[in-house]
A and B are shown apart, each in its own frame.
Chain A
Amino acid sequence: MLIPLIAGHRDRNVIRTASLSLTILASALMAVPAIAILLGGDPLAITAYAPAGLFSIGFFIDKLAAFFILIIAVVSACIALYSIEYVKHMEGESRRNLFCGCMNLFIFAMVLVVASANTIAFFLFWELMAASSFLLVMYEYDGHGTARAGIFYFVMTHLSTLFVLFGIILLWVETGSFAIASLTGAPTLMVTLAFLSLFLGFSIKGGIIPFHKWLPYAHPASPTPISALMSAVMLKIAVYGLIRFLITVFSPELWWGILILVFGTISGVLGVIYALKEHNIKAMLAYSSIENIGIIFMGIGLFVILTAVELPLLATIALIGALFHSLNHAIFKSLLFLTAGSVITATHTRNIEQMGGLIHRMPKTAGLFFVGSLGVAAIPPLNGFASELLILIAFFTSVTEVEPLVKVLLFVCLALFAMTSALTTSCFVKAFGTVFLGMPRSAQGENAHEVKALMLIGPGILAVACVFLGLFALQIIVWAGFSVPMPDMLLVGLLLILMLVLTYVALYFTSPRTIRVSDTWGCGAPSQKAGSEYTAHGFSQPLFMIFSSLYRTQITNDREFYDEPRAIFKSGTAEIRLLKVFEEYIYLPIAMQFRRLATTIARIQNGCLDTYVLYVFITVIALLVFLGWSV
């Protein structure tokens, strides 16, 4: 089933379309066995390459892996469909084919990470995924800010790889094998370290705060299909890694769960609070991804806690919630990224303050983005709500069961979770409102046109999936063989439609059906201008004020005066700037230290041949001495 290797076809336009069509076909081919395994088929084991002893590359696909392969397949297919049209709008003729090839390599690597049967293969494809995605982020290498994004991404993603490698080595030291297999006995120090290392690696890749900084840089810099793929799928690979190692390898302790839960909660709340301040539409979606990964981590943390206190039923609900949210987030976030990409293609700007009124110019894109917003804002009966509901149910039910101190922690996390969810609603009301409603705020916004059909069909499928996964949430989970105490969303959906119809019918017969079109009331001003609309900044101002301590604004003002007692004002500047707390206080200082270290080390390389000969000589002497010692 892994044969359709979607690999790089590097040629001209037709080949590009063919390559992307192959991607769709391959995704479809992958989805079929994945669904079969999910529905209780036998796990699939393949040994691909086993040259000697320990070092083998093998694949093993069980339900968990099949589930994530399904996520990759569905999202990739829709993104590929979208890309067929989108690449035509991209700059750099010579690179576009390379782009398709790289994208396929990226998808391929992600599938293989999930399918890996041992840690060697896992690590190898993890690195392939990191490298191919880096090339894709750098696509517009001459673009504004791309280099910076690239460096951030490169460093962070390799830090992640490093920690994963470290964790794998620690596990190897402990067990002496590279198999992803269960450890026996209580966790030793080595195992705990391995967990922490892996957790760190996956957190960096998943964009958990405070390791998130690469996300809001890399997403806006990369082409839309890549933003969508990274956000919707690559982050899920980190989630997969964490769940895989927690379930299959470790027997987690309570405090591991608390650690994951706390990091998840922090990411959730801060992610959405930072999303609120972002007016670059892609960066906003990137922060929203951080928030959603936070929610998924909360579900996983809860799962670990509940497993540790031996409440397997509730633990299963939390885990299903986390997994279901992974799927749902993959779907609505790729939908949002793709439609945002369409908007950017149409308006040539990423700043939502310059959009507005697009619902009249791009009605279909608006409708699709609207569905995505409903999904991400956890509005019933859509999919985002269904999975958050599961996690909430796990929270609500577990608080009665666990010991008091954990209970207090759970209540605090629950409260913050609720706030995250409500802030997301606010954030996406703002996003949809400023991008699509009202009047255009700039000439680019005014001249926007609807995108081509393929750029609507791809997201369209995702939008249908959003609604479907929401309405049939309960049925799907039961179908997959689990029982959860969640309300039947289909019934809720039907009741909503029933009430809608009843209201409509009641009004149809009782009141006049005419609608008069007349200007918006502007306090008597004769005509409305876009300038009088509420802006995105204005919209989130109350929340800025309330959370001002989290944003760390810096107010500077320099003034010059004509006279000594500073009475007659000459000129001056004042600036209110949002500090990038993590970047300015954590990342850059660490980076500076490394740079200093690197400068010191660089002195060794002075470029003189005789110095190098000296190094070789010293090395030989050292080797001789060492060998003499050991013999």
Chain B
Amino acid sequence: MSSIEFILYLVINTAVVLLVAPLFMSLLKKVKAKTQGRQGPPLLQTYYMIAKLFQKEAICSPNSSWIMRVAPYMNMAAILVAALFVPLVFVPGSVGGIGNIILFLYLLTLGRFFMALGGLDAGSAFGGMGSSREMSIAAIIEPTTIIVFAALAFAFKSLNIFDMVFASAATSVLATPTLILIAISLFIILIVETGQVPVDNPETHLELTMIHEGMYLEQSGRNLALMELSSAVKFTLLMALITNLIFPIGIALTLTVAGIMIAVVLFVIKASVLTVIIGLFESSIAKTRFFQLPNLFTMAFFFSTLIIIIEVFT
């Protein structure tokens, strides 16, 4: 029984995350455009773009090897497996340690590893620059991430995201002080991991300032579509981590069609609200100089350590 339930969970979670992920990317652009007094793209723009890219052939450099051709697929697969670790609309019992928060983090690293190598493969300076910066940022944000994850494990007395969401959904007390503090830390991690302002600016097309997009500058056609889609999925996952842990309202604990429907709708609403907040946050600040980022991260680190200390000594 539970294995059937689990397989259904795999299907539902993957389908939902793939379907809704592009929506938030467009919404984010729309919010930013509105604050700048522009009209912005339609909400379905990212879907159109991905659909268009799927129709185009891929172009590869003669210098490149199988790394560049495999990277989009591996990255996508890694992100999709990571997606199974964060329940979006329904929480099953965990099977075989799926949902382990450490493994989740390292699956994101798996995707990044291939993406960064893909950036170096064509021998273009821009790709290398993107890879170098992405890996550097990832390395210095890692202590903060692990501390926040440890704080989560500490607060929920479990290493498993499923258990965390379940515990959060089961308790009537929403948003304890610790959880709110953790949410703020998770927000910072979301901004850094998905390459948003002030760390990186996904809007820019000035190559020298690109980080995340620089890595797949050489990718095209369906490979580019995979890269874009995986970025969108990653963004959605990290948002889901925040919303479902802090505001788990509506998430289905048993598998019923109506429950899932409601959960999907509620998730889209919650995530949209969060997207709008992110958009407003990004519009209100400027991109930081690259070498000032460590200061920002140190702040985030001390902030999350503070949470721990509050937890530890109370």
**Interface of A with B (CB < 8 Å)?**
356-357, 359-360, 366, 374, 377-380, 385, 389, 392-393, 395-397, 399-400, 404, 407-408, 411, 414-419, 421-423, 425-426, 429-430, 432-434, 436-439, 485-488, 491-492, 495-497, 499-500, 502-504, 507, 510-512, 514-522, 528, 530, 532-534, 538-543, 545-546
| Docked-complex contact A542 and B57, CB < 8 angstroms | no
B294 to chain A, nearest CB (A): 5
| Docked-complex contact A496 and B217, CB < 8 angstroms | no
How far apart are the CA atoms of A438 and B128 in the complex, in Å? 10
Residues in chain B near residue A502, CB distance under 8 A:
80
Residues in chain A near residue B144, CB distance under 8 A:
415
How far apart are the CA atoms of A430 and B135 in the complex, in Å? 9
How far apart are the CA atoms of A541 and B56 in the complex, in Å? 36
Given contacts A419-B139, A487-B97, contact A380 B107 (CB under 8 A): yes
B165 to chain A, nearest CB (A): 17
| Docked-complex contact B312 and A512, CB < 8 angstroms | no
| Docked-complex contact A511 and B159, CB < 8 angstroms | no
| Docked-complex contact A418 and B146, CB < 8 angstroms | yes
Tell me the nearest residue of chain B to A516, going by C-beta: B59
Contacting residue for A534 out of B64, B109, B128, CB 8 A:
B128
Tell me the nearest residue of chain A to B157, going by C-beta: A400
The 9 closest A-B pairs by CB, nearest first: A534-B128, A487-B97, A438-B123, A433-B120, A418-B146, A415-B143, A488-B96, A422-B142, A426-B135
Asked if B113 is at the interface of the complex by the 8 Å CB criterion, the answer is yes
7 CB contacts below 8 A, A to B, read: A404-B313, A432-B117, A492-B103, A499-B78, A511-B221, A518-B59, A546-B294
| Docked-complex contact B102 and A393, CB < 8 angstroms | yes
Stretch at the interface among B36-44, B65-73, B242-250: B65-73
| Docked-complex contact B113 and A379, CB < 8 angstroms | yes
| Docked-complex contact A438 and B305, CB < 8 angstroms | no
| Docked-complex contact A414 and B54, CB < 8 angstroms | no
Tell me the nearest residue of chain B to A531, going by C-beta: B125
Given contacts A404-B312, A503-B77, A516-B57, contact A521 B305 (CB under 8 A): no
| Docked-complex contact A514 and B57, CB < 8 angstroms | yes
| Docked-complex contact A533 and B291, CB < 8 angstroms | no
Tell me the nearest residue of chain A to B133, going by C-beta: A542
| Docked-complex contact A395 and B131, CB < 8 angstroms | no
| Docked-complex contact A423 and B76, CB < 8 angstroms | no
| Docked-complex contact A426 and B63, CB < 8 angstroms | no
Stretch at the interface among B147-155, B179-187, B251-259, B271-279: B147-155
A518 to chain B, nearest CB (A): 5
| Docked-complex contact B120 and A545, CB < 8 angstroms | no
Instruction: Knowing that A432-B117, A511-B221, A528-B124 touch, tell me 19 more A-B residue pairs with CB under 8 angstroms.
Output: A378-B106, A393-B159, A395-B150, A408-B308, A415-B144, A425-B138, A433-B120, A437-B117, A438-B63, A487-B97, A492-B107, A504-B73, A511-B222, A512-B55, A512-B221, A515-B58, A515-B60, A521-B124, A542-B136
Residues of chain B from 272 to 314 with CB closer than 8 A to chain A in the complex: 290-291, 294, 301, 305, 308-309, 312-313
Residues in chain B near residue A425, CB distance under 8 A:
109, 112-113, 135, 138-139
| Docked-complex contact B73 and A500, CB < 8 angstroms | yes
| Docked-complex contact B102 and A389, CB < 8 angstroms | yes
- Chain B's interface: helix, strand, loop or mixed, by majority? helix
Contacting residue for A530 out of B96, B98, B123, B290, CB 8 A:
B123
A417 to chain B, nearest CB (A): 8
A129 to chain B, nearest CB (A): 36
B97 to chain A, nearest CB (A): 3
A80 to chain B, nearest CB (A): 31
How far apart are the CA atoms of A380 and B150 in the complex, in Å? 19
| Docked-complex contact B97 and A488, CB < 8 angstroms | yes
Given contacts A411-B147, A533-B125, contact A396 B102 (CB under 8 A): yes
Residues in chain B near residue A519, CB distance under 8 A:
61-62
Given contacts A425-B113, A491-B98, contact A385 B143 (CB under 8 A): no
Residues in chain A near residue B308, CB distance under 8 A:
408, 411
Residues in chain B near residue A438, CB distance under 8 A:
63, 120-123, 128
How far apart are the CA atoms of A507 and B65 in the complex, in Å? 20
| Docked-complex contact B159 and A439, CB < 8 angstroms | no
B248 to chain A, nearest CB (A): 22
Tell me the nearest residue of chain B to A373, going by C-beta: B113
How far apart are the CA atoms of A496 and B116 in the complex, in Å? 19
Asked if B145 is at the interface of the complex by the 8 Å CB criterion, the answer is yes
Residues in chain A near residue B107, CB distance under 8 A:
380, 492
B224 to chain A, nearest CB (A): 11
How far apart are the CA atoms of A382 and B135 in the complex, in Å? 20
Residues in chain B near residue A543, CB distance under 8 A:
136, 139
How far apart are the CA atoms of A512 and B103 in the complex, in Å? 34
| Docked-complex contact A516 and B80, CB < 8 angstroms | no
How far apart are the CA atoms of A486 and B62 in the complex, in Å? 43
How far apart are the CA atoms of A500 and B117 in the complex, in Å? 18
Q: In the complex, which of the residues B64, B124, B225 has the most CB atoms of chain A within 10 Å of its own CB atom?
A: B124
B237 to chain A, nearest CB (A): 14
Residues in chain B near residue A396, CB distance under 8 A:
102, 149-150, 153, 159
Residues in chain B near residue A418, CB distance under 8 A:
142-143, 145-147
Contacting residue for A496 out of B81, B102, B121, B291, CB 8 A:
B81
Tell me the nearest residue of chain A to B72, going by C-beta: A503
Asked if B127 is at the interface of the complex by the 8 Å CB criterion, the answer is yes
Contacting residue for B147 out of A414, A426, A433, CB 8 A:
A414
Tell me the nearest residue of chain B to A438, going by C-beta: B123
Residues in chain B near residue A414, CB distance under 8 A:
146-147, 150
How far apart are the CA atoms of A377 and B113 in the complex, in Å? 9
| Docked-complex contact B57 and A515, CB < 8 angstroms | yes
Residues of chain B from 219 to 253 with CB closer than 8 A to chain A in the complex: 221-222, 225-226
B297 to chain A, nearest CB (A): 9
Contacting residue for B81 out of A374, A492, A533, CB 8 A:
A492
A429 to chain B, nearest CB (A): 5
Tell me the nearest residue of chain B to A497, going by C-beta: B77
How far apart are the CA atoms of A492 and B84 in the complex, in Å? 10
Residues in chain B near residue A538, CB distance under 8 A:
128-129, 132
| Docked-complex contact B301 and A534, CB < 8 angstroms | no
Contacting residue for B120 out of A429, A486, A541, CB 8 A:
A429
Residues in chain B near residue A357, CB distance under 8 A:
63, 123
Asked if B213 is at the interface of the complex by the 8 Å CB criterion, the answer is no
B271 to chain A, nearest CB (A): 22
A369 to chain B, nearest CB (A): 12
How far apart are the CA atoms of A487 and B96 in the complex, in Å? 6
Residues in chain B near residue A421, CB distance under 8 A:
142
Contacting residue for B154 out of A399, A439, A517, A518, CB 8 A:
A399
